[in-house]
Amino acid sequence: MNDRNDKTESTAGGDEVALFADGACSGNPGPGGWGVLLRCRGREKELSGAEPATTNNRMELLAVISGLEALKRPARVRVCTDSQYVMKGVTEWLASWKRRGWKTADRQPVKNVDLWLRLETALAPHHVEWQWVRGHAGHPENERVDRLAAAALAHLKLTGDRSDP
């Protein structure tokens, strides 16, 4: 089922949700789009959106955030992404960034702190497992969310409208 307006329902205690996410950018920085596919109990929901001035990394982050924020209740979530930046950011770098006051190992400010904080909040109620897939390598769901991100970007360029096409 493709229901773009309602939040995906999961029961307390945690349904299993598969979240496939991707971002796209035309120029980096430039206009960008993101796409998400949520799958739970045999049902599917697609989400997408766009920003007029952004980066690919921001779109990758926003895709995962948007998918997690669409969940109504705590769930066991498998996030599938082709973004090493997002996956390693959460699983390897986030704790160190926070300990260092949002600085990288070489004392530079962490980019996209606003989205990392939002992602941390979105992750909190869920049990999340991360899976990396190679982008543009024929993974069906990754190709699907890539098309959603590209369609959102194209819609933005054509109409100036950032909402889900």
Would you name the residues annotated as active-site residues? 22-23, 60, 82, 136, 146
**Angstrom distance (rounded) from CA 79 to CA 145:** 13
Packing angle, helices 140-159 and 56-69, rounded to 10: 110
CA 120 to chain centroid, in Å, comes to 12
Pairing, β 30-40 against β 43-54: antiparallel
**In the 3-class helix/strand/coil scheme, how is 79-123 assigned residue by residue?**
EEECCHHHHHHHHHHHHHHHHCCCECCCCCECCCHHHHHHHHHHH
Kindly tell me the sign of the dihedral angle through the C-alpha atoms of 135, 137, 141, 145: positive
* Burial class for 156, CB neighbours closer than 10 Å (0-12, 13-18, 19+): buried
